[in-house]
C-alpha cells in the first residue's frame, strides 16, 4: 500500500475511533491548508487576467502620431524669396488678415502690442515667417512688410539689414529719394524708392493707396537698420504712425 493509502486508512480509523479528535485535527490543520491553496490559485488567476488585460490594452492602443519636423529646405526657400514693393513670397500687399494666416499662420506672439488700436492697425510676425519679418495690417488688409534685426531676407536689389547706405544709393541711383531721419542726425536718413502707382519723385509724402515702394532706414552709423515695403505706410516712422 502506498503512502497515500496509509494516510487515508489513518484518517478513516481516526474518524471512527476518535471522532472528536478527528474533528479538531481537521479544523485546525486541514481546512486552513485548503483555504490557503484556494486563495493562491485565485491570486494567480487574477494576475494572469490582469496581465492579459494590460497586454490587450497595449496592443489596442493607437500609436502616437509622429512629430512633424520643420523642413529646413522649405525654410531656406522662404528666406530666399525677395522682398519687393508688392510684398514678399506668399504675402501680397492688399491681402486680407485671413489670407495672411492661411499663408504663414497666426500672430507668433499674440500677447505683444503691435498697435495702439489693433483693429485699425496692427504689426506682428506670422508664426511661419522667417525671423525678423513683420507684417502690418491696416483695417484688415496687408499694407506693409518689414525686415528688422537679423532677418535673412533681402530685397529684389539684393540688399538687407546691415548693408551700408552707399550700397542702397548704388543699387537705386537717382530713384532713391533721401530724407532726414525723424530722430537721429546724419548720416541717419530714410531712403525711399517708389515704383509707379502714384509714387513720389521728391520729398513730398506719398498718399496714393495704389503707390508701391521700399524704404531703407539708415541709422547713425550709416547702416540699414530696417526695411519696409508696400504702400504709403512704409513712410510711418513709429510702427503704425
Q: Using one digit for the tens of pLDDT, what is the confidence trace for 100-157?
A: 999 999 999 988 877 678 889 999 999 999 999 999 999 999 999 999 999 999 999 9
DSSP state of 223: B
If asked whether residues 109 and 49 sit together in one domain, one would say: no
If asked whether residues 186 and 81 sit together in one domain, one would say: yes
If asked whether residues 80 and 127 sit together in one domain, one would say: yes
The number of domains in the chain is 2
| Percentage of residues in the chain having pLDDT higher than 70 | 64
195 domain residue, yes or no: yes
**What CATH number does residue 230 fall under?**
2.60.460
Residue 55 has pLDDT above 70, yes or no: no
Which of the four pLDDT bands, split at 50, 70 and 90, describes residue 20?
A: low
Q: Catalogue the long-range contacts made by 7-15 (C-beta closer than 8 Å, 24 or more residues apart).
A: none
DSSP state of 20: H
- Between CA 45 and CA 49, with CA 48 as vertex, the angle to 5 degrees is 85
If asked whether residues 196 and 77 sit together in one domain, one would say: yes
Which of the four pLDDT bands, split at 50, 70 and 90, describes residue 185?
A: very high
Which grid cell sits at 202?
A: 521728391
Closest CA to 14 of 23, 4, 6, 22: 22
Closest CA to 229 of 171, 163, 153, 143: 143
Lowest mean pLDDT among 86-95, 107-116, 160-169, 198-207: 198-207
If asked whether residues 179 and 109 sit together in one domain, one would say: yes
**Could you tell me the residue range of the domain that residue 30 belongs to?**
3-60
Amino acid at each position: 500500500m502506498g503512502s497515500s493509502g496509509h494516510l487515508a486508512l489513518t484518517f478513516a480509523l481516526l474518524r471512527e475511533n476518535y471522532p472528536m479528535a478527528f474533528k479538531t485535527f481537521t479544523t485546525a490543520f486541514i481546512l486552513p491548508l485548503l483555504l490557503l491553496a484556494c486563495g493562491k490559485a485565485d491570486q494567480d488567476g487574477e494576475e494572469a487576467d490582469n496581465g492579459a488585460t494590460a497586454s490587450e490594452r497595449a496592443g489596442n492602443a493607437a500609436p502616437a502620431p509622429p512629430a512633424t519636423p520643420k523642413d529646413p529646405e522649405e525654410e531656406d526657400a522662404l528666406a530666399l524669396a525677395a522682398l519687393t514693393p508688392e510684398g514678399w513670397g506668399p504675402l501680397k500687399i492688399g491681402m486680407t488678415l485671413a489670407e495672411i494666416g492661411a499663408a504663414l499662420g497666426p500672430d507668433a506672439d499674440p500677447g505683444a502690442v503691435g498697435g495702439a488700436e489693433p483693429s485699425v492697425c496692427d504689426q506682428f510676425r506670422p508664426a511661419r515667417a522667417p525671423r525678423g519679418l513683420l507684417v502690418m495690417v491696416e483695417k484688415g488688409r496687408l499694407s506693409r512688410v518689414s525686415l528688422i534685426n537679423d532677418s535673412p531676407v533681402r530685397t529684389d536689389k539684393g540688399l538687407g539689414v546691415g548693408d551700408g547706405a552707399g550700397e542702397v544709393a548704388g543699387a537705386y541711383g537717382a530713384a532713391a529719394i533721401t530724407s532726414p531721419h525723424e530722430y537721429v542726425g546724419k548720416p541717419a536718413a530714410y531712403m525711399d524708392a517708389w515704383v509707379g502707382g502714384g509714387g513720389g519723385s521728391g520729398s513730398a509724402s506719398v498718399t496714393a493707396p495704389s503707390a508701391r515702394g521700399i524704404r531703407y532706414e539708415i541709422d547713425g552709423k550709416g547702416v540699414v537698420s530696417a526695411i519696409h515695403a508696400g504702400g504709403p505706410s512704409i513712410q510711418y516712422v513709429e510702427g503704425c504712425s
